[in-house]
Amino acid sequence: MRNEKLKIIGEFLLENTDVVSSRFAELLIENQPRWYAGMEFEECKEIASFGVNMNLECFIRGDFVPLESYFNSCAGIKLDRGVGIRDVVEGTLLCKQAFIESGLDFFHNKDELLFFLYELEEYASEVLTLTTDRYSSMLLSRLNAEHVRNKLLLEASRTVTSALDPDEVLSRLAKVLAGTVGEGCCTIFLVDSETGGLAPCAGFGYGSKECQSALQGLRLCPSGNTLSGVDGKSYGFCSSNKASRSFADILPDAVRSGSASLFHITNSDRMVGVALVSSDQPGFTFDVATSELIGGILNTVAVAIESAAAARQTKRQLLESESLRRVANVLLECPEGKESRVLGLISEEARIIVNGMGSALMLHEGDSLHCVCGAGAPRCPKEFYHVESSYYGSIFKEGKTIIVRDAQSEIPAAERSDEVRTLIIVPLLEGDKKLGLLMVSNKSGGFDRADQRIMEMFAAQAVLALRNSRMFEQSEKLVVQGERQRLARELHDSVTQALYAITFCSDAAVRSLESGKETAAIEQLKALQGMAQQGMRDMRSLIFDLHPPELESEGLVGAIQARLNSVEIRSGLGADLFVEGGERRLPLRVEEGLFRIAIEALNNSTKHSKAESVTVQVDFAEGETTVRIIDDGRGFDIATLPTGGMGLRSIRERADKINAELDIASEPGKGTVLTVKVFDIQGYGGEDE
């Protein structure tokens, strides 16, 4: 554009802008009352003056460069206020009218005026074309941005409502937030309801495993490298492993430079979490529109995020409860003190629940810590660690949980595996007594206070297993002592008495023979023979009771049959064994308990009931096993029998020990039926332990 008349009149009017600006302001108030009627005239005149001076500068320069200044400074503001293209076109025409009215006195003849009007019309036409194109482009850009915003909001809403798993919900949301900055990255930190801290729960856009591990090891806490989020709140970055320590150092610079930002997540003023969003694009910085978009997404789905956080916490608690239940079940199934199985399960469950790679359990033995079991890898590089001169010994003596963030630098090389990176060590404490250590290693991201809480629960289970083992050993000693006392009584009451009677009877037979009383001697020798046979039966029964070899090799049925063959049948007693259902092995302690009860009942049948026949029935039904001993002896009145009579106290104690149901039915002259029933414990599957 190069119009000489416009340049001349531009220079003239530049010295008289007050007149043109006043007239332009009057026209704006009159024709666009929506925007200007509520203003003071001087305020409106100031706005009009800006447009007048911009146009006069274009007149004088002969180009439209000053329009760029207008577009950069005012156009966006007008669009934000809602000013449309029609209003802008009308404003341009009103400014042209103000120029015409103010320039009439400048021209001396009609031809000059017409030429000015022609040039002004041509100028206004070009300005309108440029202005409408620019405003249209800006409006289209804003519409596209709004479309993208609405699309992301819709995608975020669908994301958090379409997935049922809380971890999947958070992972999808992290992906959506990362998409707001192109090929970006996002980590979502949620409030830990137990500790009050902020821990990473989901992330997207981090390529290498090292990078992922480092971000998983970040924590937001009151201390650390402090920086501010877009909401003005301050956070501190802490680390739980070596790799995350470097991230905690560089992230504040990234936030300050604008390539990363922290966004607060709240629901009704309740703190839910924080989203860390960053971009790897060179020169990227967060602008207002992007920050508002991310904030809008988080506000839209804040309720769903809080629900996912609560569901995630509940899910973890359920997993913890289920894991502890499995351990408790094994403790109930193994009261006999098979601690290696229980402690091995505790090591495995602890490793799984805190997402570790390897675990180990050490017990205090003498002046050392002995690594007795473990799961996964890596394991303890040594089997024994001296309490007074080792790293683990010092932790054992301290009796406090330790979280190791960098095992390679914190633990002496001779006491660690080269594969260990992070470690949590929990002491096994029974009151003031220290029993050992439970350890889990190599959790991606490192261990935190939530891991410490659940690990200490598993340590308590290990202590309980050790206590059960110790108590069982003590009870076993008492049982052995009781068995010895019982055998001593049996030997005294049966075999010893039989031997004494044999000696007495043999002396009498000798005297009879010496005095020539052959008939009496023969009767005494026959009695002697019967006493010797009874003594042999009693001795054979006691030897079989002491340790029946068939019990371990052939099970309950085989052991009972061997007993009947060895004692009852050889004694001339009618003895039968009947088995119903599919024969299966039971836990050894259960089989031994049932066998001992059967022996006691058989002894009662032969010694006290004077039975001529006895029947043993073993019924393997689904979920339960029943043993029934039936004799045709003289029976007894249960109501009048002393509690400990005929070995019944021993039978009841043995039944209680294996959680069996016991029933004894008897009447004088009608024999006795003893029934003992045990129920299968879910978990051993009918196999011998």
Q: Which helix (H) or strand (E) holds 676?
A: strand 672-679
Alpha helices in 203-283 (DSSP H): 209-216, 242-257
DSSP 301: T
| Closest residue by Cα to residue 662 from 612, 605, 596, 611 | 596
Residue positions counted in the chain: 689
Residues (pLDDT < 50) of the chain are 337, 644, 682-689
DSSP 543: H
What is the C-alpha to C-alpha distance for residues 378 and 263, in angstroms, rounded to an integer?
39
What is the C-alpha to C-alpha distance for residues 379 and 392, in angstroms, rounded to an integer?
14
DSSP 74: I
Domain with CATH 1.10.490.10 in the chain: 4-142
pLDDT score of 437: 92
DSSP 571: T
For residue 201, what are its two tokens? 């729960």
Domain 4-142 is classified in which CATH homologous superfamily?
Globins (1.10.490.10)
Whole-model pTM over 0.85: no
pLDDT score of 621: 92
- CATH domain 163-314 topology: Beta-Lactamase (3.30.450)
Domain with CATH 3.30.565.10 in the chain: 547-689
Task: Find out whether 66 and 54 touch, Cβ atoms under 8 Å.
Answer: yes
pLDDT score of 685: 38
Task: Find out whether 391 and 369 touch, Cβ atoms under 8 Å.
Answer: no
What is the C-alpha to C-alpha distance for residues 58 and 609, in angstroms, rounded to an integer?
131
Domain with CATH 3.30.450.40 in the chain: 163-314, 336-546
What is the C-alpha to C-alpha distance for residues 96 and 116, in angstroms, rounded to an integer?
12
Distance of CA 675 to the CA centre of its chain: 47
What is the C-alpha to C-alpha distance for residues 417 and 433, in angstroms, rounded to an integer?
29
pLDDT score of 688: 41
What is the C-alpha to C-alpha distance for residues 579 and 575, in angstroms, rounded to an integer?
14
What is the C-alpha to C-alpha distance for residues 230 and 211, in angstroms, rounded to an integer?
24
Q: Is the dihedral of CA 241, 242, 247, 253 positive or negative?
A: positive
- CATH domain 547-689 topology: Heat Shock Protein 90 (3.30.565)
Domain 336-546 is classified in which CATH homologous superfamily?
GAF domain (3.30.450.40)
| Sequence-ordered strand ranges (E) for 145-259 | 184-191, 198-204, 218-221, 225-228, 234-239
Task: Find out whether 239 and 247 touch, Cβ atoms under 8 Å.
Answer: yes
CA distances (Å), origin 15, targets 64, 108, 277, 328, 452: 21, 19, 54, 96, 81
Residue 224 CB neighbour total at 10 angstroms:
17
